[in-house]
Chain A
Amino acid sequence: MKDFLCHIILSVAFLLLLCNPAYAAANKAILIGISQYADPDINCLAYADEDVRTFSSILTNFAGYDSSDIITLLNQKATKENIRRAITDAVNSSQKNPIDHFILMFAGHGLPPNISSNTTNSFLAPYDAIRNQFYRESRESPLANNETFINKAWLTKQLSTIKAKSIILILDSCYSGARNFGELFAENLGFNVGFAGGKDTDRGVVIVQKKNSLGPLESRIAFIASSNEDQPSAEYQELKHGALSYCIFEFINAVRKETDDNRREEITIGSMYSNIRTLFDKVEVKGSPLSAFHQPVLFSIPNYDDVSSMMFISIQGGKKPKVKKGTLEIVTDPEGAEVSVDGVQTGKKSNCTLELTEGKHIISLFIPATNFNHNFIVDIKEGYEDRKKISLRGSLEVESYTEKMWQKTTKLGVYVDNKFLGETGLVVNDLVAGTHVLKVSADNVAKERHIEIRPASPLLVRYKIIREAAPKTKDPVGPVVF
């Protein structure tokens, strides 16, 4: 009887184990988006964090990812240490539990690969990057954490050792298609970089060739970048996204619209990249096609044919066989946000009511004045009448302090977008979300920086007051000796 009970328990445990999504799912995504950097010398980005948040929603709502499969590091969370830890943890855990589908997305600042060394070239700017330390290198330990930037050599080494059947690296940042990054990546896996395709069919596709002495590669790797190594990539107000993110979302929306809601459609790397390229040629910003400013790049390892058939994501269709509709009333504070549904502008501004087909939709709210784009997903049922009240305001707190006990803390005048709001110590809770210019001033000294206000993430800016001796135009004593 006891043996029988034991077997029953073990069997149930085994069955539950198989059904447990944590084990069944072999997806993993690390999504990094940084709009607001700590270093005031690094410009803010209006859409990077929202793009990553949106991609995370797409993965969980439409692509079968469980939220536990995704590590999302936004803004202040996206420190170098956190990014390194997330990646090394993924690498280490993949050794025991190999991953089927791994996505690493980075939306933020990238830096040009113009350092002579090809082993310590900095690449991505984490939240705590310090711009004037970009070129600091260490000969003693080229792979060490000796910079405030994410080291490309370190990143390729990690990604080369992760045990995953397919690895997708999406870099929506400047200079992201760094050839030597791809080369190093390929070389780590035993490949030589051949040439970059120039014809229409393989434009922007970097061809790699396997070295003969090595065995078969377990992974297929797609590295999609928003620009060539010598090109800055940008985010555009016309697109309300970073260039690459926009193209990815557009294609996903298009596929969803064409796919019945009871089906899943596999978007391959080939189809995704092909459509990214098409959109770069088609979509105009500042009166010219996007491709006139920068072009996307695809590194495919082991070869383009294998990788192009690899799954980017499997997407849940959104087309209903029978049109069933519900209504959604969108009320925002402030009102007047431009409303888009599944990437298509409705021509309406909040507050407004939308009639939507049954199913999940990506709703975008855009405030042009502050360049703020907010996306969320709604699930519409037939006859649905819902009201979404959304605050598009955020909180800003500005403090000043001194570390010298004997010095009185100076109150700074605080200006946002050139409007005086008060002195340091103030908390403003109703700033419209988006990009603003924060200025503080005291004693005829003023300092400005861009800030990103987010509804769900209060921002505290702390000014350490350093009092230095006023400069003397001339030493009255000069170099006279005793």
Chain B
Amino acid sequence: MKKVLISLLAIGLIFNIFLTSNVFAQEETKRVIEEKLVLKDPTVAAEGKWVIGGALEYWYVKGSYDLTDSSGAKTATGDISGGMPGGNIFFGYGDFTLNYAFRKGSWNIDLAYTNGALSHIDQDQKEHEITLRWLMRGLSLPHFTPYLLAGYTQIDLSETETLLNGYHWVYNNKAVSTRTTTYQAPLVGIGAIVPVNEYFGFRVDGRVLWSNATKEYDNGAKFTGSGVGGSVVGTAYVNIWEGLNFQVGGKYLALNGGDAGNYWKGGGFAMLGYSYKF
């Protein structure tokens, strides 16, 4: 057996069974070169950047405040003053930015009804607003970039109205009426940013709000209604330094709550914000 193996080994050696072949033996083959060619295409969306930021804001309202009935006839004249501090945070990618704002404040309203009654209203307001903005850069002009908005806002009002000159409320036979109202409103809007230069510009938008409102009185009576309202916001902004910005503007908001009553306020606001792009 051993001799047979030796013989096989010998035969193997004779026929080079154990020789290694040259793995690198080569023939001329097709050479392939890979190249890249970058074409700049205006139809291709620019790669977006993330942006994150926030702002502190204050909405100040002072001025006349009149009430009308459903026929449009004036039922009371008066004035309003107050402020609502708040803040917002936002983050975005490319042309989309998602913003959440929270505001909470109170208003003082003095009214003189046409029937002779005088009243004072302490109104507390709490507001949540979430908005998605799409900058339509494809339609940009050098000093004009339009955008679309969609979002949702909820306003909670808690107010106490005191009749001051001997009048009392019919429903509770008291001088004081306490009620809460909640407006819940999806919204869409359209606007534009109008940059004057690298640091300074304007922003203006109009929004349509479909609101559902519920008003509840201190005696348990509840009224609901809905309607279409709107708002207009105009802002001037200044980019101060490295993402720090200051904005000041005017805002008018009107919500139609149908049988639950309307809401409207107009005033000025200021914001100090910071944004970081990465």
Q: How far is the CA of A89 from the CA of B88 in the complex (A)?
A: 67
Chain A stretch 462-482: residues in CB contact (< 8 A) with chain B: 462-472, 474, 476-482
Q: Which residues does chain B contribute within 8 Å of A462, judged by CB atoms?
A: 32-35
> Does A144 have its Cβ within 8 Å of any Cβ on chain B?
no
Q: Given A457-B28, A461-B33, answer yes or no on A479-B243 (Cβ-Cβ < 8 Å).
A: yes
Q: Given A16-B14, A464-B34, answer yes or no on A481-B55 (Cβ-Cβ < 8 Å).
A: yes
Taking a contact as CB atoms under 8 Å apart, the answer to whether B39 and A74 are in contact is no
Q: Residues 211-254 of chain B: 1 if any A CB is under 8 Å from the residue's CB, otherwise 0?
A: 00000000000000000000000000101000101010000000
Taking a contact as CB atoms under 8 Å apart, the answer to whether B28 and A456 are in contact is yes
Q: Which residues does chain A contribute within 8 Å of B24, judged by CB atoms?
A: 71-73, 77, 82, 85-86
> Does A17 have its Cβ within 8 Å of any Cβ on chain B?
yes
Taking a contact as CB atoms under 8 Å apart, the answer to whether B46 and A10 are in contact is no
Q: Which residues does chain B contribute within 8 Å of A89, judged by CB atoms?
A: 23
Interface of A, helix, strand, loop or mixed by DSSP: mixed
Taking a contact as CB atoms under 8 Å apart, the answer to whether B44 and A467 are in contact is yes
Q: Given A10-B6, A481-B55, answer yes or no on A464-B277 (Cβ-Cβ < 8 Å).
A: no
Q: Residues 1-36 of chain A: 1 if any B CB is under 8 Å from the residue's CB, otherwise 0?
A: 011001001101110110010100000000000001
Q: Residues 220-235 of chain A: 1 if any B CB is under 8 Å from the residue's CB, otherwise 0?
A: 0000000000000000
Taking a contact as CB atoms under 8 Å apart, the answer to whether B53 and A476 are in contact is no
> Does A38 have its Cβ within 8 Å of any Cβ on chain B?
yes
Q: Which residues does chain A contribute within 8 Å of B92, judged by CB atoms?
A: 482
Q: Which residues does chain A contribute within 8 Å of B277, judged by CB atoms?
A: 479
Q: Given A13-B14, A479-B243, A479-B277, answer yes or no on A400-B31 (Cβ-Cβ < 8 Å).
A: no
Q: How far is the CA of A469 from the CA of B275 in the complex (A)?
A: 24
Q: How far is the CA of A89 from the CA of B55 in the complex (A)?
A: 67
Taking a contact as CB atoms under 8 Å apart, the answer to whether B37 and A400 are in contact is yes
Taking a contact as CB atoms under 8 Å apart, the answer to whether B35 and A72 are in contact is no
Of B10, B19, B195, B274, the residue contacting A22 (CB under 8 A) is B19
Chain A stretch 434-454: residues in CB contact (< 8 A) with chain B: 440, 442-443, 445, 447, 449, 451, 454
* Residue of B20, B41, B145 ringed by the most chain A CB atoms within 10 A: B41
Taking a contact as CB atoms under 8 Å apart, the answer to whether B3 and A468 are in contact is no
Q: Which residues does chain B contribute within 8 Å of A476, judged by CB atoms?
A: 137, 140-145, 193, 195
Q: Nearest Cβ distance between residue B201 and chain A, in whole angstroms?
A: 6
Taking a contact as CB atoms under 8 Å apart, the answer to whether B41 and A469 are in contact is yes
Q: Given A13-B10, A478-B201, answer yes or no on A412-B37 (Cβ-Cβ < 8 Å).
A: yes
Q: Which residues does chain B contribute within 8 Å of A443, judged by CB atoms?
A: 39-41
Taking a contact as CB atoms under 8 Å apart, the answer to whether B28 and A16 are in contact is no
Taking a contact as CB atoms under 8 Å apart, the answer to whether A461 and B35 are in contact is yes
* Residue of B3, B37, B90, B143 ringed by the most chain A CB atoms within 10 A: B37
Q: Which residues does chain A contribute within 8 Å of B30, judged by CB atoms?
A: 457-460
Taking a contact as CB atoms under 8 Å apart, the answer to whether A481 and B90 are in contact is yes
Q: How far is the CA of A40 from the CA of B26 in the complex (A)?
A: 24
Q: State the A residues within 8 Å of B (CB).
A: 2-3, 6, 9-10, 12-14, 16-17, 20, 22, 36, 38, 40, 67-68, 71-77, 82, 85-86, 89, 93, 400, 410, 412, 440, 442-443, 445, 447, 449, 451, 454, 456-472, 474, 476-482
18 additional contacts (CB under 8 A) given A9-B10, A457-B29: A2-B3, A17-B13, A73-B26, A76-B31, A77-B29, A85-B24, A447-B37, A457-B30, A459-B30, A459-B31, A461-B32, A465-B37, A466-B38, A469-B42, A476-B141, A476-B143, A476-B195, A481-B90
Top-8 shortest CB links A-B: A13-B10, A469-B46, A456-B28, A470-B42, A71-B24, A470-B40, A467-B41, A457-B28
